[in-house]
Amino acid sequence: MFFIVSGLFVSHSLAKKTLGNYVGNRFKIIFYPLLIWGSIQITLQLLMKDYVNAKPVPFDYINLIIYPRNPSNNQQFWYLNALFFVGAFYAFFKVVLKFKIWHQLLLSILFFSIAGYLEYNGIAFYIFPDIFHFYIYFCIGDMISAFIFNRQNDAVITSRKWLIPSVILFVITQSLFTIINIQHNEDNFVDHRMPYLFLVISLSGCTVIVQLAIVLEQTRLVKWLRVIGYHSLYIYLIHLMLIASVRIVLVKVLGITSIPVILVLAIAIGVVVPIILYNLSTRIGAWWLFSLKKPEQEIEFYKHRHKELKIVKQ
């Protein structure tokens, strides 16, 4: 879903920016925080290697760039690595080689097939399997961008004519996914061994998520999800460190092993604390912890709010 969402904006961005500016901007907001928080996480894992589930080694600092899915320390940062390089390659083919959308689609199918072959045969090839696998989702995002950004289509997307079949297909495909994985006693059997089926299953899930998001926006329900969504990147960067810390304290220090208690506390802290930390960092001028792109609007907001508070106190 995140690769599709990112692909929605590529044509619009490249219409206003050069290839260098586009890639540079994505480096500032995607790859730079990967390097910063990935290094922080690996450092903490090395310092607390007797308590964490991962098996960190010093070379993991380099693996953040060349092999983020390495078996010794396969953590969440592979996603940001893949997202950056998929976008960079897609933009290169679009701008330099003048690929049309159908060229990109054919290339993405080829890449997806190569990724499926590598995965099926257990061949690790540094960052490339993820780039090959997710390129097609980025391409799909670009293909549907004009349709999605036309707000007149919201009524069509959420109509019963579309929504009911989407939900039915979603239930069927997710059930099939679960049944096959259980039969083979492997969580990732379908995506590792049946990539084309997995493509259909994943796209059915993405479709329902898009429809659900539009419905929630139209009905203005659960507005707090907007806040979480806005901070999703920062939550993604930090949540694993916080969740691991909660687990270690509860289990190792307090002797609490109740799974519901650990889940509730870990998820709550893993979501809320990154939001607080990001806004606090921005407020005190430490925005560079999360991006090389200065958040001008947020800084102005805090300046304006500070002035208002001073006036109220006076």
- Give the pLDDT of residue 309: 66
The whole-number pLDDT of residue 301 equals 77
Whole-number pLDDT of residue 312: 66
Q: What's the confidence (pLDDT) of residue 70?
A: 86
Percent of the chain exceeding pLDDT 70 equals 97
Single-letter amino acid code for the residue at 171: V
Confidence check: pLDDT of 156 > 70: yes
pLDDT beyond 80 at 77: yes
Alpha-carbon distances of 162 from 12, 179, 219, rounded to whole Å: 27, 26, 18
| Predicted model pTM | 0.91
Given a contact cutoff of 8 angstroms between Cβ atoms, the answer to whether 136 and 111 are in contact is yes
Please state, in angstroms and rounded to a whole number, the distance separating the CA atoms of residues 177 and 191.
9
Highest mean pLDDT among 117-126, 131-140, 219-228, 299-308: 131-140
Alpha carbon distance 171, 217 (integer Å): 23
Residue 9 has pLDDT above 90, yes or no: yes
Q: Is 304 exposed, middle or buried (0-12, 13-18, 19+ CB in 10 A)?
A: exposed
For residue 278, the number of C-alpha atoms closer than 13 Å in the C-beta half-sphere is 25
> Which tokens is 183 given?
């039969």
Sign of CA dihedral 170, 175, 176, 181: positive
Q: Give the whole-angstrom CA distance, residue 289 versus residue 278.
A: 8
pLDDT digits (tens, 9 = 90+) for 192-212: 999 999 999 999 999 999 999
pLDDT, mean of residues 142-163: 92
Instruction: For 267-279, write each residue's pLDDT tens digit.
Output: 999 999 999 999 9
Q: What percent of the chain has pLDDT over 90?
A: 78
Tokens of 129: 């399997």
- 76 membership: H or E segment, kind and range: none
pLDDT digits over 114-142, tens only?
Answer: 999 999 998 888 999 999 999 999 999 99
At residue 186, φ and ψ (nearest 5 deg) are -150, 125
Say which residues have a Cβ less than 8 Å from residue 156's Cβ, sequence separation at least 6: 162
- Give residue 308's pLDDT: 67
Tell me the C-alpha distance between 237 and 79, whole Å.
10
CA dist 203 and 181 (Å) reads 18
| Residue 36 identity | I
Looking at every residue in the chain, the average pLDDT score rounds to 92
Within its chain, how far is the Cα of 100 from the centroid? 26
Residues 6+ apart with CB under 8 A from 234: 274, 275, 277, 278, 290
> Closest Cα to residue 7, out of 157, 208, 143, 203?
143
Going 270 to 49 to 37 to 188, the CA torsion angle's sign is: negative
User: CA-CA distances (angstroms) from residue 297 to 235, 274, 301?
Assistant: 20, 19, 6
